[in-house]
Amino acid sequence: MISPEKIWSSDQLPTLPAVAVKLLDLSKNPDTDIKEVIETIKADPAITAKILKASNSSFFSLRSECKGIERAVPLLGTMVVTSLALSFSLSESAITHGPLKSRFDSYWKQSIIQSAAAELLATKAGFDLKYDSFLIGLLQDIGHLAMLRSIPTDLLSVLEQAEKEQRETVEVESAELGINHTEVGVKMMERWQLSEQFQTAIQHHHDSVAQLKTLESHPDFNLIIIIATSAAIGDYFCSPNSGLALQKLQDLTSEFYNMPHDDLHGFLEQVQARFEEAAQIFAVNMDDIESPFEIMAKANEQLVQMTMKAQVDTTQAFARQAVIEEQKNKLESENKQLQSKAIHDPLTKTYNRSYFNENFEKELYSCSRTAQPIGIIFSDIDRFKNLNDTYGHQFGDLVLQRVAKVASDSTRRSDVFCRYGGEEFVIMVNNPSEKGIHDLAERLRKLIENEVIEFEGTRVPVTASLGAVVGIPPRDLTGFAERLIAEADEAMYESKENGRNQVHIRSIITKDDQELHKLIKRCRFSRWLVTKAVFDIPTISKALLKCPQQQTQTRIGELAIAEKMISEDGVSKILELQQLKGMRFGEIAIQQNFLTQEQTAYLLALQVEPPIVLGKTLISLNLLESAQTAELIKQYLAEMKPCSIPAGEHQNQLANS
């Protein structure tokens, strides 16, 4: 990257002599007296001689010879003589020796080709300012000249890179230098106070076809297209990347001039004839510019090579992408394996104690908020040490694996089965009743007892002792997890002490919580659907397993307000008391007579099992239609919602509190 100031502060920038500056000023005024133009030109004898010589060249094809500048100027016109004067002035800044000579020669040749092409394109399009087009075509790459003179070393490396990589020069300039010759050219036009029309045309002369099409409503659109096309023609004749130039030229002439590709060759021959005439005026040797036919052959060959290279690049890109995808998949697989190892027991492939502890904490918090029960079952293989000592550790490992599989296969997806340590396993049971957790534990005991595990063809009896506990976490969870684990552990040891191969159950749910939990279950939409004989228990149970897990549950206070059971002031009061007492919202609401136990149960049922969520699941499983689901939810809410406490009584409660 370079600082633009390095360009603008250079004393090598192209400058215009007084005559050229004066002529530019005069050309802007349509009322300029022709005599003033003649007098201005005559002030510079060298420019006068060159303009007079140009007027008699084949380029202008005047009917009679001009022997004096007084006749040449009226015949050529103010804009033409201004263009010529400006061109002659700029050509004097030529670099005639050193490494930049060939670059300057190439620049000057391309400028002449572009000016001749712009004039022909203007004529072809019926554009009445063909000599304006000639001048802009000549000046469109003036930024390139400015950069050659002010930052030659930086620019040369960019030009070589563009040629090597077969990319457009402006693209590489912007990427490597932070500025391109189009931007410099527009700035030069501003400095020379040329019209906005000139600046706009130069600004867009390297735009893509897609970019140019967005300018169709611009008042100078025709001039913009002429200059952009002449730039592509200049690149075609002078750039080493003729294939790239041909591709763009074909797109431009096809899109904006309706010129078939077969007609392009003939037009380029016209351009060549015209720029050879212009070259005579400026004494530039164009002998090294090849014919359109020769260039076309090279350009097509380049296009074939570019296509082949693009195909190779694409193939290589696909190959690289395949390698990247393979590496990505490998890393993802390794990451999954590492994650799996982190949460799974390597011997039994079940979850490990770390996974249990993490999920146990989350489930406790969730159950605390919704007043839902949580259950723990501890299972310990009976006389496991004796099995190891008698049959060996390999057999002991087999016993652990078989017991783990039996238990895993019979555990619900909503429950979590883990190896807790040694021969001890644990199950975290979701939303259990005391009877439900007992039945689950007893079923597991029987399955383990009935599992056939053999040593050298002889069955070895294997049993387990189980202990379970069910509880409803309070809002303040301090010490509750430890108590739950201890109760389950003690219940398991009670089974062992009473003869092993037994199940013992404990409940630490208070009578009030037991009653509330029964009411919550009775209020749930799934239970209501079963009681109304809409579905049987197995069907609704499967639907509940398909229900999406809620990321965040609606707070019970918000539900109470929405159901018009408690006012916003009442909810605020309960929340204040909750902070002081560390109790659940529902407990305080019942204690302070804001809600009845039935109302609290109804709200908790809505929180735990939103009817809309279950309804959508039933629709997705094609068990209900949308209209039928909406009607059932409406009936459910009408039947199950307990009577609300009158609003006035709420206010009395607040006052009394």
Give the active site residues.
Answer: 423
Query: Quick one: which of 177, 75, 70, 185 has its CA closest to 139?
Result: 185
What number of H helices and E strands is found in the chain? 33, 7
Q: Which are the contacts of 493, defined by CB distance < 8 A and separation ≥ 6?
A: 465, 467
Please return the burial class of 477, using the count of CB atoms within 10 Å of its CB with bins 0-12, 13-18 and 19+.
Answer: middle
> DSSP state, 2?
-
**Residue type at 421 in one-letter notation:** G
Query: What distance separates the 2 farthest-apart alpha carbons in the chain?
Result: 134
**Residue type at 232 in one-letter notation:** A
Q: Are 275 and 116 contacting, i.e. CB atoms less than 8 angstroms apart? A: yes
SS (H, E, C) 469-519: EEECCCCCCCCHHHHHHHHHHHHHHHHHHCCCCCEEEEECCCHHHHHHHHH
Sequence-ordered strand ranges (E) for 302-415: 374-381
Q: Which are the contacts of 264, defined by CB distance < 8 A and separation ≥ 6?
A: 249, 250, 253
> DSSP state, 654?
H
Strand partners for 375: 429, 470
Q: Between β-strands 464-471 and 503-507, what pairing exists: parallel, antiparallel or unpaired?
A: parallel
Q: Which are the contacts of 601, defined by CB distance < 8 A and separation ≥ 6?
A: 516, 519, 520, 522, 523
Q: Which three-class secondary structure state does DSSP give residue 616?
A: helix
Q: Are 586 and 603 contacting, i.e. CB atoms less than 8 angstroms apart? A: yes
Q: What's the CA gap between 233 and 117, in Å, rounded? A: 7
Residue 227 has a CB neighbour count (10 Å cut-off) of 28
**Residue type at 423 in one-letter notation:** E
